[in-house]
Amino acid sequence: AQKITQTQPGMFVQEKEAVTLDCTYDTSDPSYGLFWYKQPSSGEMIFLIYQGSYDQQNATEGRYSLNFQKARKSANLVISASQLGDSAMYFCAMRPSNSNSGYALNFGKGTSLLVTP
């Protein structure tokens, strides 16, 4: 069984500062994918960034980067230069590679991020 843990229910950050959202996971699968999604108050889940378990480098997408530490089983999201529009719920998710199904995602409980002026 897989488990995703996000220990920060809520986070505050000042505009233009960087913030790290924590995510740890537990899996026995040797190959898996890790994802971060953003959910604004409107409800839509927006894909942010992906990290494969065998990727040698940490993933980056614009202001988003993933601090992947495989031995510690952590995949923290770093948002640089925070903007007011970054205020939202952030979900960490994982999916194994060996599933014969549609590769459903397993989500954490989420972290609520509030960016203040």
Partner 1 sequence: ETGVTQTPRHLVMGMTNKKSLKCEQHLGHNAMYWYKQSAKKPLELMFVYSLEERVENNSVPSRFSPECPNSSHLFLHLHTLQPEDSALYLCASSHRTGSSYEQYFGPGTRLTVT
Q: How far is the CB of 33 from partner 1 (least distance, A)?
A: 4
Write the DSSP assignment of 32-95 as a string of letters: EEEEEEEE-TT---EEEEEEETT-SS--EETTEEEEEETTTTEEEEEE-S--GGG-EEEEEEEE
Q: Is 101 in the site for partner 1 (CB under 8 A)?
A: yes
| 64 scored as a contact of partner 1 (CB under 8 A) | no
Amino acid (one-letter) located at 97: S
Contact 64, 49 (CB under 8 A): yes
Binding segment (CB under 8 A) for partner 1, from list 18-26, 37-45, 63-71, 74-82: 37-45
Only segment of 13-21, 42-50, 68-76, 78-86 that touches partner 1 (CB under 8 A): 42-50
Among 13, 25, 27, 35, binds partner 1 (CB under 8 A): 35
95 binds partner 1 (CB under 8 A): yes
**Cα–Cα distance, 91 to 37 (Å, whole number):** 5
Q: Got the DSSP string for 14-37?
A: ETT--EEE--EEE---SSEEEEEE
Taking CB under 8 A as the binding criterion, the range among 15-23, 46-54, 60-68, 69-77 that sits at the site for partner 1 is: 46-54
Interaction between residue 102 and partner 1 (CB under 8 A):
yes
Among 8, 33, 58, 74, binds partner 1 (CB under 8 A): 33
